[in-house]
């Protein structure tokens, strides 16, 4: 952080003359190790270092982003930002005085119990080679791989109002993939932490239990080849936490984004079936549906102390007992819409401006175990691990597919089914929620590639959820 | 960042190589203006100046890759690059020999500069906002220079630079009643913009008719080129590259096994000769002008990147796994005849958020979006509320394909996830006897 502080201090000493400025510096380092089919893939060591200067002046707002962090480079970025602020003043959508100002001073550091360097590269590769070998259990396994990606991101946001927010994020993402084939049927199965990405250090690698997981992942990929297709009819559905993450993401998270509701995303990511008048009264789901924006969960992917515009972040209910309470909108969108919201203005890196984003969007636990949920199903299917996602531009009509399904008959898990999928309409689906697992069933998952925005941005968001039971859902299998 | 600066930096790195080391240096840079518009007003505007250096260090049969940002100042940049080089050298000491290491050992050179005739961005935007007055326009303006370079200690010297603009927008009447358009390229012409906006205003009058609700089922349909692009992007997602073919993961598995085929009029090519994307690979190979991916409805060649080429014993013909300059052959249907030939069915302007419903059967699901109308006896009856389709491309591009249009549209990608994209697609529209709507 020292380097970023030095750069910030130099900028502050030559700060542009304007109503308000922010400087957001981002330094990220990443390392990717992978073994595929017994061969060590080229390892990739990457780093990025850059800054975004935001200027409010002459009644407008503009930004300039640059990888040139010299005093002259930052001055040039500030000048370009000021030029765009003047253009915004003439043709802007909103008054510049709505732009939030921050004097927040705060620090955040990801919880890391084991440092990345606590294990040598050779030992990491050795572990990956053994995990990869443990996936290759049968001639029907045509492809397999084991990997670890580590990323460390330091971000310093300073403002002309005296704000200084330093955040250090650290991530270790392990994973396994087995691809099985027989004739014209191919099945892919992931595991080893691939569907439960979190912040943290090398302890994430230990938690992934690659060597223990690998045989199961490969066996399930092979078993799916001969499994019957998931039936196509209407029946009860249990979604495991890793698929709940996707369900929450697509049909609660995105529709509650206030910039979508305001229309900013209509040309790309889309709009929302949610309208401003729904907050405080709309029944989004059954009484069992409690959803929070919670940046305080240790290790969850989007835990943070403040967003990228300097708004201090805290836990807030979005939906309580099924009733919609507030949108995912940061102060600028809140001011434009006249609604309260949360601190969720986030950017993917230094070269993209903050926009309304999900953070950690969590479905709060209910009661009981997964077995309790299964026991309540007479005829249903359980689905595990997302593999396909598609939803309309207002986030209503969705169709999702999973890697693996299991039939439920008379309260018992029975046979495996392949190519399981289900369809629904967000506005109706959550009202069919009839069971939420207890705290002990909750798993912290996330989405590492949430795409949105113009220019485009892919970002990390977290989703913690127990397994959930939905009644009378349209399910289907594969085939033409 | 210019070519000379990049080349000098690379040369200084080459002098620091040890023993028999080989170094490939790549550059990806851009200076871009991005302006978001909502309700025909500026929502968010700014400029991005970036440059990233990529290094691949090779020592014998070992290799390691890395990247770092460049500032544009030779002293600090050299320092960062040397630090990265040292990190790669250290990493190479820990990795085993790579049996799939593959790079061009023949020095080669190329230069391509695609220049643009653009007015100042502020002027173009003011013109757009004026011309679109009264429209609920939402979208993005992206413009500026993109640079991609490659230099190696073996003697490769390649440079691709283009200056362009891409205005990607839609206009809304209400709710999901909207039309989408785009105007991009290398020469700004106000009259083209005004003509597109004029056509949009006319079409919005049609869009103002009461929305038609249709039930799930199978419908005749015309898919405009922008909708076809979404289907081509699905095929590009694992459909054409050698690794996915050899590991049986391609969604065209039944096609390559000879169990299914597409209509004989379906011919899909990667056309590097279009010249909009770099024609060299990161390993110094040159891409052929054209690669036939589907010929007369049957699988032809795969895209083969350097690593897969070595693994499976083929020749390199691509920089990566997906096409960057895809083309689908034209047919004989004139645009003027589309309504009459469609007769009764759906005119689908765009598709959205496609994904595999079952890749084994090349079955895709996705949504209609923007400019989708119900047609009866060749006449527009009204816009259609968004519908989900779920169907196999073996049908849509196979036994249910009736015609392809004679005219094709060159669609420049508006993608900006990893910087401004240089990808493009040249596509006709498709008339099909049926597409299955599921929800």
Per the CB < 8 Å rule, is A399 touching B388?
yes
Q: Decide if pLDDT at A378 tops 90.
A: yes
**Closest chain B residue to the Cα of A478, Cα to Cα:** B358
Q: What is the arithmetic mean of pLDDT over B294-307? A: 98
- Residues of chain A contacting B44 with CB distance shorter than 8 Å: 61, 63, 353, 355
Tokens of A390: 């598609």
Phi (first) and psi of residue A478, to 5 degrees: -90, -170
Nearest to B386 among A45, A262, A397 (CB): A397
Average pLDDT of chain B is 97
Residue B375 near residue B339, CB atoms below 8 Å: yes
Residue A166 near residue A356, CB atoms below 8 Å: no
CATH number of B3-207: 3.30.2290.10
Nearest to A266 among B70, B172, B354 (CB): B172
The per-residue pLDDT for range A250-290, each reduced to its tens digit, is: 999 999 999 999 999 999 999 999 999 999 999 999 999 99
Q: Decide if pLDDT at B175 tops 90.
A: no
Query: What is the set of domains in chain A, with CATH numbers?
Result: 2-226 (3.30.2290.10), 233-476 (no CATH)
ipTM over 0.90: yes
| Minimal C-alpha gap between A86 and chain B (Å) | 10
| Minimal C-alpha gap between B79 and chain A (Å) | 14
Q: Decide if pLDDT at B385 tops 90.
A: yes
pLDDT value of residue B436 = 98
Is residue B81 less than 8 Å (CB to CB) from chain A? no
Residues B252 and B261: their CA atoms lie apart, in Å, by 9
Q: Which residues numbered 420-479 in A keep a CB inside 8 Å of some CB on B? A: 421, 423, 425, 451, 454-458, 477-479
Nearest to A179 among B139, B247, B360 (CB): B247
Residues B87 and A213: their CA atoms lie apart, in Å, by 32
Nearest to A263 among B38, B63, B360 (CB): B38
Nearest to B357 among A48, A63, A401 (CB): A401
**Closest chain B residue to the Cα of A34, Cα to Cα:** B95
Is residue B91 less than 8 Å (CB to CB) from chain A? yes
Residues A289 and A282: their CA atoms lie apart, in Å, by 13
Residues B216 and B435: their CA atoms lie apart, in Å, by 10
pLDDT value of residue A352 = 98
Q: Decide if pLDDT at A293 tops 90.
A: yes
Nearest to A218 by CA among A128, A130, A134: A134
How many residue contacts between A and B have a Cβ separation below 8 Å? 264
| Minimal C-alpha gap between A218 and chain B (Å) | 15
Residue B381: how many other CB atoms lie within 10 Å: 15
Distances (CA, A) of A404 to A119, A379, B154: 34, 17, 49
R_g over Cα of chain A: 24
Per the CB < 8 Å rule, is A66 touching B49?
yes
| Minimal C-alpha gap between B364 and chain A (Å) | 10
pLDDT value of residue B321 = 96
Q: Residue ranges per domain, chain B?
A: 3-207, 217-437
The per-residue pLDDT for range A91-117, each reduced to its tens digit, is: 999 999 999 999 999 999 999 999 999
Per the CB < 8 Å rule, is A480 touching B395?
yes
Query: Partners of B363 in the beta sheet?
Result: B358, B392
């Amino acid at each position: 952080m020292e380097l970023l502080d030095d750069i910030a201090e130099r900028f502050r000493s030559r700060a542009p003359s304007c109503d308000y400025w922010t400087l957001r510096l981002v330094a990220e380092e990443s390392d990717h190790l992978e073994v595929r089919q017994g061969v060590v893939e080229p390892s990739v060591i990457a780093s990025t270092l850059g800054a975004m200067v935001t200027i409010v002046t002459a009644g407008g707002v503009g930004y300039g982003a640059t990888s040139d962090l010299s005093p002259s480079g930052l001055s040039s970025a500030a000048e370009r930002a000021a030029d765009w602020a003047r253009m915004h003043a003439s043709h802007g959508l909103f008054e510049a005085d709505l732009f939030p100002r921050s004097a927040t001073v705060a620090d955040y550091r990801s919880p890391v119990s084991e440092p990345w360097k606590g294990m040598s590269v050779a030992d990491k590769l050795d572990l990956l080679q053994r995990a990869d070998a443990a996936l290759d259990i049968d001639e029907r396994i045509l492809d397999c791989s084991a990997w670890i990606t580590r990323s460390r991101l330091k971000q310093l946001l300073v403002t002309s109002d005296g704000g200084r927010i330093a955040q250090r994020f650290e991530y270790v993402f392990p994973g396994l993939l087995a691809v099985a084939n027989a004739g014209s049927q191919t099945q892919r199965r992931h595991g080893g932490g691939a569907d439960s990405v979190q912040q943290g250090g090398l302890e994430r690698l230990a938690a992934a239990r690659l060597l223990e997981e690998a045989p199961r992942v490969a066996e399930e990929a092979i078993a799916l080849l001969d499994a019957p297709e998931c039936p196509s009819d209407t029946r009860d559905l249990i979604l495991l936490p890793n698929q709940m993450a996707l369900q929450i993401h697509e049909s609660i998270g995105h529709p509650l984004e206030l910039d979508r509701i305001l229309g900013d995303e209509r040309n790309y990511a889309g709009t929302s079936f949610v309208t401003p008048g729904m907050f405080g009264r709309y029944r989004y789901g059954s009484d069992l549906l409690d959803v929070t924006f919670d940046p305080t969960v240790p290790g969850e992917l989007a835990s943070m102390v403040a967003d990228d515009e300097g708004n201090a972040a805290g836990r807030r209910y979005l939906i309580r007992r099924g009733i919609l309470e507030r949108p995912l909108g940061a102060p600028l969108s809140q001011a434009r819409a006249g609604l309260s919201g949360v601190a969720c203005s986030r950017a993917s890196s230094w070269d993209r401006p903050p926009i309304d984003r999900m953070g950690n969007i969590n479905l709060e636990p209910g009661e009981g175990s997964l077995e309790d949920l299964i026991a309540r199903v007479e005829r249903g299917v359980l689905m595990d691990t997302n593999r396909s996602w598609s939803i309309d531009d207002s986030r209503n009509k969705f169709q999702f597919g999973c890697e693996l399904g299991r039939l439920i008959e008379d309260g018992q898990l029975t046979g495996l089914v392949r190519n399981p999928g289900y369809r629904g309409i967000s506005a109706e689906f959550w009202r069919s929620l009839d069971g939420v697992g207890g705290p002990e069933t909750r798993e912290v998952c996330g989405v590492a590639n949430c795409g949105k925005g113009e220019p485009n941005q892919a970002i990390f968001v977290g989703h913690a959820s127990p397994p959930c039971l939905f009644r009378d859902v349209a399910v289907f299998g594969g085939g033409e | 960042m210019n070519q000379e600066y990049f080349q000098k930096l690379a040369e200084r790195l080459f002098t620091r190589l040890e023993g028999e080391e080989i170094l490939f240096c790549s550059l990806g840079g851009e200076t871009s203006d991005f302006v978001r518009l909502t309700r025909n007003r500026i929502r968010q505007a700014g400029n991005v100046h970036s440059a990233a250096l990529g290094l691949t260090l090779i020592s014998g049969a070992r290799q390691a890759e890395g990247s770092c940002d460049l500032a544009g100042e030779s002293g600090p940049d050299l320092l960062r690059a040397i630090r990265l080089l040292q990190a790669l050298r250290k990493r190479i000491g820990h990795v085993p020999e790579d049996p799939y290491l593959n790079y061009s050992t023949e020095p080669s050179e190329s230069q391509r500069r695609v220049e643009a005739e653009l007015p100042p961005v502020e002027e173009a935007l003011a013109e757009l906002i004026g011309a679109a007055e009264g429209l609920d326009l939402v979208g993005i303006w992206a413009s500026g220079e993109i640079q991609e370079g490659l230099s190696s200690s073996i003697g490769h010297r390649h440079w691709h630079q283009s200056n362009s603009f891409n205005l990607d927008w839609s206009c809304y009447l209400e709710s999901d009643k909207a039309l989408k358009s785009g105007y991009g390229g290398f020469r700004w012409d106000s009259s083209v913009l005004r003509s597109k906006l004029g056509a949009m205003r006319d079409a919005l009058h049609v869009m103002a008719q009461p929305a038609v609700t249709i039930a799930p089922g199978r419908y005749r349909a015309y898919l405009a080129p922008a909708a076809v692009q979404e289907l081509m992007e699905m095929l590009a997602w694992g459909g054409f590259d050698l690794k996915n073919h050899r590991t049986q993961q391609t969604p065209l598995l039944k096609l390559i096994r000879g169990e299914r085929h597409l209509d004989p009029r379906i011919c899909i090519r990667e056309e590097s000769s279009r010249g909009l994307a770099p024609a060299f690979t990161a390993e110094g190979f040159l891409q052929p002008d054209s690669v036939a991916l589907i010929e007369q409805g049957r699988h032809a060649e795969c895209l083969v990147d350097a690593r897969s080429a070595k693994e499976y014993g083929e020749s390199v013909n691509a920089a990566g796994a997906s096409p960057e300059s895809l083309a689908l052959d034209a047919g004989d249907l004139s645009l003027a005849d589309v309504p009459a030939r469609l007769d009764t069915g759906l005119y689908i302007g765009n598709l959205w958020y496609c994904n595999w419903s079952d890749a084994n059967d090349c079955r895709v699901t996705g949504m209609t979006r923007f400019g989708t109308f119900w047609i009866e006896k060749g006449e527009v009856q009204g816009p259609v509320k968004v519908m989900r389709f779920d169907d196999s491309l073996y049908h849509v591009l196979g036994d249910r394909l009736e015609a392809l249009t004679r005219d094709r549209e060159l669609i420049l990608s508006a993608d900006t996830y990893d910087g401004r994209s240089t990808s493009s697609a040249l596509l006709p529209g498709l008339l099909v006897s049926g597409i299955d709507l599921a929800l």
